[in-house]
Structure 1
Amino acid sequence: MKINKKIACFILSTALIFTPFLVNIHSYAETTSIDNEEDKREQEERERQEEQRRQKERDYYVAVEMYSDFPKLKNDTQNTLTLQIKNTGGSHLEKSKIKVSALPGEISLTGGSSTTQDVGTIYVGNQTSINYEVQVSKDAKTGTYPITFEFTGNYGTSVDNYKAYSYSKTFYLNITKTEKEKDKSQYKPFLIQNIKHPAIINKGDVADLTFSIKNPNDKPMSSIKVSVSPDEGIVNQTQGVFVENNFPANGEKTFNVKLFAQDKAEKKNYSIKLTVEPTNPTEQTDSKSSEDSNETPKILPTSTQYTGIFYNAPDKDEVDGVKNPQIIISSYSYGGTYVEPNQQFPLTMSFVNTSSQKVLRNIKISLNAEEGTFIAVNSSNSFYIDSMSPNSSVTKTINFVTKPDATTKTVAMTIDYTYEDTKGTALTAKDSISIPVMQKTLLSIDDVAQPQDVMEGEPVNISLNFYNLGKTKISNLKMVASGDFTVQGENSYFVGNLEPGKNDSFSISAMPNDPNKISGVIDFTYEKLDGSIETAQKKFNFTLNPISPMPDNNNMDDIQPPKHDNKIIYIGVGIAVVIIIGIILKKRHNKRKKSQELDLDE
């Protein structure tokens, strides 16, 4: 009974001791719970405000996209350029305008089109179209031309908050120069070739003249007329006019006539005109064209060729019944079909003593070119021959150089003779020859320019410049580009004629097969003044550095700040409570033990 009373006292004492402590713990727990609820509410309020801020930013996100599929343009034409504008942002755009801020010089606005046009309001997700009427210049060359459009507009929720927005984009227009069609209304003229005859005839001689004609066309000619017409003083002993019917395609025929000098003919060179022409110029010449009435008749141009024969007429003044002797040039050559400026060439000449009885002595021959075009090299332009027996010939060669600024033409060179006969009589004579001068055709081509870096997936511009650095016209100039790319537009450019001292350029818009590199070649073909065809090439190989699109910053909004975790606080508080209770219980136990010891002492 005594023990039970002690236990009851211990329990009551323990309850009295721990009651305030438990009340404090309960109060602390309630206070901690209230603080946690306030932190939670504050956190939720911060998150709500952050969401409102982000929503406001999204409401003011502004973006516009411009796109178009412009047609291929041709020079000297009118066209319509349609531009599409779409509002891809999160805010309406008001008082919007579109402006052509950069227009190529080869293109002008027509039809009342202004560089700036009102667009008005573009709502979110909507798009509108703007048209520009343009005129392409007649002189526009084939190539790719940039055109830049600039968009401006206002956005916001009220007049006070309106902000200006602008966006620009450059497009590229492909312009093709229309090539002139070749004249298909005419056939190619007949060729007159293989002309042969004696260079000199004397009194009583008959000259055999032979020549051939060729039809260069792929169709036969129904009827042509071939004529041989010498100057007055030379007579055609045989037939002078020939009519040929159904002359075959690519066919060739040879003709022969006999010529002699009249008694009244003078001592000089006589021209002989050879002509091939349609029998009736007003009629079609194609023998098969009449079968197809829908085919337009073609005209055969007249072909003309000249040759000449020197008639060595007897002199009126004769000594002892023998005519005065003459020296003439019987043949000459200059190393080719023409000579070039600033180039050296050998002039080889054969001279003949036309007298059949007299010896010529102390012969001096002087050469003088028109306008001093030809200059003798390391020698004089005159030379000396001791003597020439009757009917003999002498060959001489002199080196000449053509002056650098000589123009393309046939230059006359006069030959002056002074000599004596066996009796010492001084005699003179004059002759002339012709030498064609041909300036060099000099086409200079720059290297292909390094393309500028562009956005990945967009075409690059390949371009180069070329120049006529010669003094002659370059004809039928054309260039074609090819390589590991796809050309947007035309891959060729027909220049036609390029005059001396002029320059031009060639450019294409190319989509490379490999976005990191592009290579290819540009082939040039052109015709020189003598009709020969020349070719040239420009190769290129470039490494490209495409510009990657900018990353989308909208995804950054999805990143949420880490939330505050209250579990750590609760765990720390629990550990602290257990430690405090342990300390209190330890003290209470020690105190009770001491009290028991005192009771035992009593």
Structure 2
Amino acid sequence: MPTESSMSWTVVSKVLKITQRGAEVMGNNARWALLLIILFCCLLPIPLLAVEPPADPPITVYIPEYTEPDPILVIADDRWMPVFEAGSKAQLNIPIKNVGGRAYNTVISLNVSDPKSLPFEADKMAFNRYISSFTGQTVYSIPITIPANTAPGTYPLQISANYQSASGGGGSASATVYIKITSDLRQPQLKLLGLQMEGDKLKAGSTQVVKLNLKNDSDIPINSINLRLNGFSTEGINLDNWPDTQFVKAMEAGELHPVEFRLQAGSKMESGTYPLDLAIEFQDQYHHKYTQEQKVYVPVAGKGEQDDLLPRILLEDYYLGDDYVQAGQTFPLTLLFRNTSKNTAVANIKVSLSSEGDIFAPVGSSSSFYFPEISPGEAVEHTIRLHPQPNAEHKVYSLVAQLDYQDEDGNQLKDQETISLPVVKEIKLVTSDVEISPEVYMGSPTSITLDLYNTGRSTVRNLMITTEGDFEVQNGTLFIGNLEAGHDDYYDATLVPAQEGELPGKVIISYEDELGQPYQLEKAFTLTVMPAAPPPMFGPEMPLEETAQSPLKKWMIAGGILLLLATVITIILIRRRHHRRMKEVELDE
């Protein structure tokens, strides 16, 4: 297309041509004037009309139309199997991935014909989820509750997704996903623990209420329990005016519950165990029903065996008031008797007591006493005062209780019980006061003595004597051993005080009786210690000082004499003790 500049030059060239022709006509002067006017006009911005060139032909461009691809849904993809615990609440999440175009009006459903077939419960009315549109990934999620009675295992779930594409068409995808249920809970089970009746067996020809002890042997409560007992026969075990079905409303986990049936055993039945059938129906807290079949074995005692079911009286316990009996001292004895039968009372019970050598004599009563009756399983007690012989030996004596009684049918029955009573003799150890030397000097040895007397009726055993105090004790421990009844002995020890004044001390006497019971006596004493006496002076006397030193010499002579006497007494006592110990060694040999 011509530009504005080219168009201006075209106009100028045309004007010049016209001017040239005019100049040729008007002459040279007029020619120059006209030329100046023309140049001035060319310099002015005169709008010029463009001359349009001829139009080019139109060009047609073809742009292709965009078409969105169809959606492609992948359910669960390559995810790990989710694991849930029975009895818990959780969230079930199933991922759905769209690897194609956008999906519209998507409806994701868990395909369930019967919700009870699922291994979980959900609060939703329906298992559908609507999504208006999505690309990428979404999650189908619902809250679930896994019942406690769900059995452990792997469960399949059918899930589908219906959608529309951008083009208006429709599509769907489906898959089977799996979940795993684990459980540490014991599943519902009713267990028969055994029978309970009065006596160990059902007597032939008798009627008795029998309890079936049932236990909910699971971790889940159960309810609506029906128990039906059958398998009866006319000549064998039958019901005695009692329904064959019992109902229990509910049992908690681990609960025990007895169910009663009154059974009758035929009079001609022989001893043995007879089976009955127990049919059990119940449901758990999730209304799941269970059925069980169990055998009930009833022990029967025939006529020839019923002697073993006779009531017996047991001397169950006795009380002395102490661990042993002192010879020659009266003591109370309480006896407790129990009727071991659970269904038969005993009457006219006479109890007669006797002992070997009649060592025990009753005080204030005879050796027999009486009970009018003892009910089944009940106990009675009686207290009697007994006096053991003073000269009874230290030993365990037997006391026999002879029992005579009757059962409910008036049959005479006998029984015998024996108890053991330990008898000990009185132990009594008497001692003298501790004898001390009249004068005790610091640093000088002195002696103490003590006499011992066994005035009791039994031997004093493991007799040992020691001395303690604020002084040095030499040869202060003496083991005498056994001191027979009526015998005596003595103890001496050498003491060396290290300070003046009154020094306390004690003699400790330990021993045991015939049963090993320990005893201890303590005899206290006090040493009054005087200052140490000065040693005697030997050598020539000074005549000039004789008068002034005569009192001092007298005291020194007296101290030396006392020291010599103490030394002599100590030597005598040591030799005496040595002689006694040598004598004991000779006796032991």
Bucket of the pairwise TM-score, normalised by the shorter protein: 0.3 to 0.5
TM-score, scaled relative to structure 2:
0.37
Higher relative contact order (CA 8 A, sep 6+): 1
